[in-house]
Amino acid sequence: MKAFKGTVRGRVQGVGFRYSTRDVAIRLGLHGWVRNTPDGAVSVFAQGEEVAIDRFLEYLQEGPRVARVDAVMVDVVDIDLTLDRFEIR
């Protein structure tokens, strides 16, 4: 298991980024959350199998078709055993 917390910057609000991120995370079997931040970025926490996390990080570099991702900053963090799904916050 692996976990990370990240911030995605660019045109990532108002383009369905959170919803598509949740859908991809669920398909990959990840647990965590995604939310908009006041500064226009999107914050993400995800945990799961290393291969799934790697695929998810690849997705975050692109986002949905109408988004424009300028940067993804990621920090490896501890697993949160209280999470049992992936949700939009």
CATH assignment of the domain containing 7:
3.30.70.100
Q: Is residue 20 part of a domain?
A: yes
Q: Is residue 29 part of a domain?
A: yes
- Residue 38 has a pLDDT of 98
- CA angle 18–20–21, rounded 5-degree value: 60
68 is catalytic: no
Q: Is residue 86 part of a domain?
A: no
Q: Are 5 and 57 in contact (CB under 8 A)?
A: no
For a pLDDT cut of 90, what percent of the chain falls above it?
A: 100
> pLDDT tens digits for 28-69?
999 999 999 999 999 999 999 999 999 999 999 999 999 999
Residue ranges with strand state E in the chain:
2-11, 31-36, 42-48, 68-76, 86-88
Q: Is residue 32 part of a domain?
A: yes
- Residue 77 has a pLDDT of 97
Name the pLDDT band for 15 (thresholds 50, 70, 90). very high
Considering 11, 18, 35, 89, which one is annotated as catalytic? Answer: 18
CA–CA gap between residue 45 and residue 86 (Å, rounded): 9
Q: Is residue 88 part of a domain?
A: no
Q: Is residue 85 part of a domain?
A: no
Q: Is residue 12 part of a domain?
A: yes
Q: Tell me which residue range forms the domain holding 46.
A: 2-79
55 is catalytic: no
Considering 22, 36, 68, 89, which one is annotated as catalytic? Answer: 36
